[in-house]
Structure 1
């Protein structure tokens, strides 16, 4: 199916998505056929044309007259199937061409039968009688579009097995007029929407129609020739370009082949050289591996010999170890004898008297130091008590108490260090005593005359040991006192933390009171000018509770203002 939209001076054909515009040329009997069918195809075409210069009503084409369709616009052109009914033949479906213009001109042709031509010219006066006869509801200006709509419906239904809209053409005789009808088929009856009486074309009309078709075919042929010539030129140009490109590509291919051959030969020679060098390297590596294997085998033999030597040495060392163990047993027995002889060497312990006196003087100094530390501890306790009282008064006193607490901690720490030093000295003395005892045990040349003196020395040594034991007991008591001091210090730190919490709560209350006071002053600042006013800014309440910088802190804080809903804890 093909749709044509005709305009003055040209034809635009739209079929299967392609568009072409060809200038119609040629004349038949002096009549320009610009708006006739430009392409003759098998099928039925319907054309509606409307004049441009007003509603130009043109009669059918006559001899010697200018074709009236040359100034008309084709509104519809489509292939439609028509049921042709003749008296002397059976009903059949024919493909006819309709050409409709306005004044309204309807033209029906058949591509398979060049002499098949029916036409109808309806003026506005004729349309009024047609409107009355068939009960039409549209005006003359809207009739072409409505007729086109009916033909569109027929075109959409012609592919269906049971079309709803069908076109009928009834011929009583070959030379007589024909009746063209648009019929709607439903389950009840056939509704005839429109019935037109078409007159058969005269010889003149048929010749004009054939001439127009011939001119259109010639114009199309000429256009196709031009297009073919242009296509041939383009193809020739493309062929020459392709041949030139092929020649260039052939040269490049030959060059690439020669390069590839050269590279292949060079790569082959290089590969052969590399293969030869790799073979030489492989042979050399095999020789090295063989030498290394021989060296490792000789090394293994040496190691096995060394292992046998070491095994012999091991057995010898074990035998020597057994001998040494025997000697050690003899040495232990000798040591027991030496221990028995050491009883006589106690006379040399007189040298320990002077050393014990020195140790006693050192113990006295340590006792004095401990007393001083106890006095400092008591002083620190009093200082902590005063610090606790000062912390309850002001924040400045809190800072001083913190410093004093740190100082006390440092003092306690130093005391602990002194105690640790004393313990170290005592341990050193004990080590020296044990060393002296060892020396005494090693002495083997003693005399009987010194046994009495040795006994006295032993008594003195016992007294020194008793004094040392007493000193250790005193140090244990001092350790207990230090633990108590630490517990007191922990309690003081806990109280200090509680004081910090109370101070933080008091600071929050003071900030809240400052805020309330500022709000009150802001509210009072908006009173009338003649009333009393308060300053917009007030000194913080901390100035009433904290002492000035550099002034000593009082032991008792100033009376605080009434607290907010949350009570102030001291």
Structure 2
């Protein structure tokens, strides 16, 4: 058996004494192929409810049944393409069941209650004009035996699934416990390494902050000394700076341009450092998403980076202060032209200070590169941890695929059980039909026995009637022969020989059919036809009611072995019979008039 469709669909259920309601029912369509003794294909449609285990409606459609269904509902497709078209309609209903006004709907109409009798399962298309019924199938409710078999198969499959899942869960728990122990060991090692890195960072940050504070103090002292010297030397250098004012101004402008270029380079480097720090932050955020414990470590690194940023901002502030000082010096040069010569020395000192600052910045850049290398090593370790997690996910996927394979095996077994249950159902139907036929035949046999008894009774009665008729005929023939032999010849007036009788051949008695009225004569009337000397003889009893009136037709036919009247030939040719008494002028039943 091949499963073609197995999904839950929204069905509008309507019973006789209940209101219409929506229900999610599972529609299962299977194609059953049998090749022993004849190749047959049957389409099995089954409706079940996952919430109600006693809800079971099924229908088996063979190719012969489909032909009648095709004629009844006006279908245009063959049996080979019917399952796919039916599945297409169900998929259309499934795609539109979430809409507010779906076009295709499924209806289940029951003539009685939902758990009693048959139901009509139909696919209906709704439009503004009318409801179009594309297909309607009459599903039969499962009997108690079918429901029990269905529940037994469900329970057996669930037990097997439970056992297999328990074994799989034990295996997966063992594997995951091993992997967790390994991951915990790796995490402890990494936490130790991170603690070491934190301690190193804290020591370096404290050393850097102490150095910066010392440098700032020394620079402040130097600036104060320079200011004192300048104030002392301003009065002495006024006269010397008048001649060199123009040259010094040009040189200062060129120097200022060079300083601007250097400041631009420094700002570009700062932006590059900021971009690298941002990249590091992005990498650290991705590492935070992969492992929750690494978030805290990355946050500590961000704090350390923020401290470095604050240090860089402080240095930038120092550079700004120096620039402001240069502007003040320019104003003083404009105001006091004599101080320009000494300002050269001040500028050279400031250049030296800048060179020392650049050296410090390069050392800090080198230190940042070291930090970047350490972060890269951390990212590589995180990538390795991700690889381990991916391997675990691949193992879980493999286990899920194995579970799916076992589910398919259980579904195939369910199909086999369903086939056997369907065969048993058909066999029970055949047995019921055979029992009905046997009862019908028994009734026919009893009727035939009664008819045989009646016919036997009639035959017995007819045999008795025939015996009585034969006795009467024999007695009459005997009396007639004796009378004809003993009596005198009658006169020729009352009886003449017929002209058609030949004289050379012997006479034979002719019997003609007697009217049915003559058989019902009374004994007194019957004695009138007899001679006077034999009227005292007893006659045969009259016929009873219900017996066949008249003699059998075989006694009225002309026979070759009839009784010859040889003793009367000579008398009939020369004489006539004496006249009969004229009391009754009825014709004879055995001789023609």
TM range (shorter): 0.3 to 0.5
Q: TM-score, normalized by length of structure 2?
A: 0.34
TM-score (norm 1): 0.35
